[in-house]
């Protein structure tokens, strides 16, 4: 098959997929009355039933638009149905300009790294017969693929992951609040981002999901240079999202930078724990499959 049309298949390396088949992502909380990740859904074998209406979003299948409601309200609403699974998972992928950074050619850019992680989670969730969807965002939501549980949905999501490009500024909190309002049924929210935005605003958005009874996993993905500030010589640093530049001697401010960085995200991690938000930091110097299994193994010990 032509590489240009099937390049997205690189996201599923055989050695990673073979291991994913034996893994179970265990959700920490009860979602819709069942323990997810360990279930045999009671909906299998039954016809799906209408649940509710919600506002139409780009990416929704137009066949689910309720034209009677449109005729009365002049607004597009789609019909939501009870799925043949008890869990809906949403992968929220940050595609802002900072996600295109890598300090060394031997490391993946953060966006590509997170795309690999998202592909692995997609495979895992569908293997468990759960539904999974994709939300791509920078300053706004630009990609929305509703959760589905069919096997064919895997290739749809991988194709969209393959198209994601790092661009524009970021507004993580705005996306979190918007999705928290849009997602009506409780589910699993997985955020893949470097979180290089206002931490307090991000926390407010994460807590919005928790207020709505969603389970939240935050995978902060960083380049090692962003944590260590290990630049050897005088350098000009440019903000990838604003273009602002500053010239400095890295070794003179390295210690202060590390202290500030650690203080900010240690406090962020503490706030997440207090709100039952599963926060985990990932380093792109590690292979993405290593990071994935390290996270899943750590998570399995909680049960």
Element (H, E) at 126: helix 110-127
- Give 111's pLDDT tier (boundaries 50, 70, 90): very high
* Residues 204, 59 share a domain: no
Higher pLDDT, 65 or 5: 65
Q: Considering its fold, how many domains does the chain have in total?
A: 2
Residue that wins the pLDDT comparison between 72 and 35: 72
What pLDDT score was predicted for residue 245? 63
Q: How many CB atoms lie within 10 A of CB 286?
A: 14
Mean pLDDT of 256-264: 84
Helix H or strand E segment including 70: helix 67-73
Which residues span the domain enclosing 207? Answer: 12-41+86-300
Please indicate whether residue 232 or residue 133 has the higher confidence score (pLDDT). 133
Give the pLDDT confidence score for residue 277 in this predicted structure. 94
Q: What is the largest CA-CA distance in the chain?
A: 66
Residue 243 pLDDT > 70: no
5 occurs within a structural domain: no
Cα-based angle 278, 194, 265 (whole degrees, multiple of 5): 60
Q: Are residues 150 and 258 in the same domain?
A: yes
Has residue 93 been placed in a domain? yes
- The residue count of the chain comes to 303
Task: Say if residue 11's pLDDT is above 80.
Answer: no
pLDDT for residue 138 is more than 60: yes
Tokens 């500053």 correspond to 246
Q: What is the mean pLDDT of the chain?
A: 77
Q: Tell me if 1 is assigned to some domain.
A: no
Q: Give 169-220 as a 3 state SS string.
A: CCCHHHHHHHHHHHCCCCCEEEEEECCCCCHHHHHHHHHHHHHCCCEEEEEE
pLDDT tens per residue, range 202-240? 999 999 999 998 999 999 999 998 887 776 665 555 555
| pLDDT at position 40 over 50 | no
Mean pLDDT of 160-187: 89
Highest mean pLDDT: which of 108-112, 168-172, 227-231? 108-112
List of residues 6+ apart from 120 with CB closer than 8 A? 11, 12, 16, 20, 288, 289, 292
Do 104 and 159 reside in the same domain of the chain? yes
How far, in Å, CA of 221 to CA of 191, rounded? 10
Q: CA dist 201 to 18, 176, 281, Å?
A: 39, 10, 19
144-159 pLDDT, tens digit each: 999 998 888 888 898 8
pTM of the model: 0.73
Does any domain span residue 100?
Answer: yes
Verify that 94 and 219 share a domain, yes or no.
Answer: yes
């Amino acid at each position: 098959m032509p590489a240009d049309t099937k390049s997205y298949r690189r996201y599923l390396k055989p050695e990673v997929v073979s291991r994913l088949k034996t893994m179970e992502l265990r959700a920490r909380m009860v979602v819709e009355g069942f323990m997810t990740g360990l279930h045999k859904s009671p909906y299998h074998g039954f016809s799906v039933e209408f649940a509710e209406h919600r506002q139409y979003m780009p990416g929704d299948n137009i066949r689910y638009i309720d034209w009677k409601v449109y005729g009365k309200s002049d607004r597009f609403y789609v019909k939501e149905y009870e799925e043949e699974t008890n869990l809906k998972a949403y992968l929220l992928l940050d595609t802002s300009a900072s996600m295109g950074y890598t300090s060394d050619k031997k490391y993946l850019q953060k966006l590509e790294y997170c795309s690999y992680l998202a592909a692995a989670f997609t495979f895992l969730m569908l293997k468990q017969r759960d539904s999974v969807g994709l939300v791509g965002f920078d300053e706004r939501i630009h990609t929305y693929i509703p959760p589905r549980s069919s096997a064919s949905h895997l290739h749809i999501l991988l194709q969209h992951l393959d198209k994601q490009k790092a661009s524009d500024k970021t507004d993580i909190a705005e996306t979190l609040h918007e999705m928290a309002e849009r997602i009506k049924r409780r589910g699993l929210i997985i955020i893949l981002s470097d979180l290089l935005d206002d931490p307090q605003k991000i926390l407010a958005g994460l807590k919005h999901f928790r207020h709505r009874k969603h389970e939240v996993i935050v995978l902060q993905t960083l380049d090692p240079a962003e944590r260590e500030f290990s630049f050897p010589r005088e350098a000009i640093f440019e903000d990838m999202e604003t273009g602002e530049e500053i010239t400095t001697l890295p070794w003179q401010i390295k210690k202060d930078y590390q202290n500030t960085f650690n203080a900010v995200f240690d406090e962020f991690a503490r706030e997440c724990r207090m709100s039952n938000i599963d926060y985990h930091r990932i380093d792109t110097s590690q292979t993405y499959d290593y990071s994935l299994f390290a996270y899943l193994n750590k998570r399995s010990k909680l049960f």
